Amino acid sequence: MKDITLKITGKQKYEEREEDQMEFVTDGRLYVRNGTVYIMYDESEVSGMEGCTTTIRLKEHSVKMKRSGIPGFSTELYFETGKRFSSVYETPYGPMGIEVLTDYVKNNFNIEEGKGSIDVQYQVSLEGMAEGCNKLTINVM
């Protein structure tokens, strides 16, 4: 396992609202198993999920993200270009259905160097109550 620094940028654009952008830098851990990259980091106040641990599984053409650690707050999302994924988003206010349609996954991560970036753009729907376009960029430095 290797200690790393991550810069995470998230952009959200929901109907009739200004685009929101969040950016933070955090420490994490990286390891490779059978050609699959795993990145783990602890969420902070900035993300609004302090106490959660996020694990990202990076394959050549897909990204799986899992958040856990706080009772009543967890989620698992899967991103692969052109694919639709449905899941349950556990929140302190109760479970909520979430569906994502991935526009693209761009994997610019170099396994040998343990550095690079991952870009994911996706459409999201939260039980039909909120729909929007999100972009997530993760830079491993």
- For each successive 10 residues of the chain (141 residues), what is the average pLDDT? 94 83 93 93 75 91 89 85 92 84 96 93 85 94 90
Residue 48 has what pLDDT? Answer: 65
Its pTM stands at 0.86
Domains in the chain and their CATH numbers? 2-140 (2.40.128.20)
What local confidence, expressed as pLDDT, does residue 68 receive? 84
The string of DSSP letters for 19-85 reads PEEEEEEEEEEEEEETTEEEEEEE--GGGT-TT-EEEEEE-SSEEEEEEEEETTEEEEEEEETT-EE
